[in-house]
Chains A and B, each alone.
Chain A
Amino acid sequence: MAIQAWRIKDRYYRLIGSRCQECRTEFFPPVYTCRHCGSEIIKDQEMPKEGKIMTYTRLHEPLPGFEAQAPFYLAVVMLDNGARVLTQVVDSPDESVKTGARVRATVRRAKVDGDSGQIIYGYKFIVIS
């Protein structure tokens, strides 16, 4: 897990996704083939850091490594460029986590790697309105 996360740390820290060089559609996570036009000419692109919640859930039965955080919010966020991110929503009052709420990306501790104890960081989102 630690090496797998290290390899794509820029994606986790700075939301580096993809931009199709032909139709200009942007994606997060990155893609190999444009989902919109099928082009394979894809370059890395930093995503905008704000968007809105399309749908959300509050998870009560977490995966191993996430027990201390449960229950926590997960949401599908549509970024302002149209790319979609599956993310935790943190540091936000319960009543603010709603469909349509505006959110902003931040970096937080994601999980502690089971084998090495290494702390892995990644994006989470906060409700801003």
Chain B
Amino acid sequence: MQNNHEFKVNLKGLFTPWPIIAAIILTVAFAIAIFRYVFGIGSVTNLNDIAPWGLWIGFDILTGVGLAAGGFIMTTTVYIFGREKFRPIVRMSILTAFLGYLVFIWGLLIELGRPWVIWHAIIYWNIHSPLFEVAWCVMLYTTVLFLEFSQVIFEKFGLKKLQHIFHLVSVPLVIAGALLSTLHQSTLGTLFAIAPGKVYPLWYSPIIPVIFFISCVAGGLAMVILEGHLSKRFFRHEIPFNLIKPISRALVYSLGIFALVRFADIAGRGAVPLMFANAMETPYFWIETVLLIIAPLIILNIKKIQYSELGLFYASLSAVLGFVMHRINMVTTAFARVNGGYFPSWQEFWITASLVTLGFVIIALIVRFLPVLPEGSLIKTRKERERYLAAKKKEDFGYKKLGWNA
């Protein structure tokens, strides 16, 4: 009888539209990828000799890696700064960061011209190349993230001895992760420092690594809040408010510092007139600035809405979108005067969408089977579901009424 119930619930779950949508996106993406491997990158993209980098670098790599910064921020907060109360969300942020990097490497296999020799980065060294540094840091950091995540696997299968070993090495591991992240997050910006004449002055800066690093902290924090919201919607797992509140404050401070550095940098280089110039780059700059800096800072500083569920959701969503805009501007708008008006093809958008989808699918599966979320936050049986729905009906849920420290 009991089994029967569960079967019904699971079956119902199967017929939500999400798996079907995901399947369609991934199947078409697979076809595009095959086409690309046979006929070349040019056959599915609008990239060309004057626009050698586009959406794939801007979103899949610059954005993907940047937004995965939540991983090193949360691990450092808990393991190094000793803010133990954040421990319940550490695993989720490690997992999303780890998957972010895996998906990003997967994206590289489509983006690189000769992906089958991607391992050349290991044997052929050029220490003068920022991209060489990024390659090594990403390789090492993905390994660190895997090791950090391995505790979840050890726990699941009751491997006490390995758990003990993990406990011993966890702090050096987290420090290594933080250092590697600092290096490659900033060096992703350094990539563009070599082309001062080509990158539009609103985005070019001699301190671009600093700008990339601060913005990845803000983007990573916004992503943690947004993940909390999504995880509540999809997994019925809620990040308690006593965690969300300090994270949103940290987001305000990091955005504030970012705004200061960004505008001081623009002013210092005498590029202020370009902010208001009658040029095609100007609207893109303002879309980015409003989404990344202005809107979140306003929302998060209005007393009435700063800690409301919707306020937090829109502020973090806006910051994340602004972050995406900054990174994509970096490879498209900033190069607009030399790239002949590049705009991504539908296949480029599709591949990007498929990478995001892939990330969601893997997270959904892993959360189901491994102890990523704190005990009891996943609804597995019908009884739990009914109880949850009843509670929801009484509006016991929702950020405002939950009596935050529960």
- Chain B associates with chain A: no
Q: What residues make up the interface of B, taking CB atoms closer than 8 Å to A?
A: none
Q: What residues make up the interface of A, taking CB atoms closer than 8 Å to B?
A: none
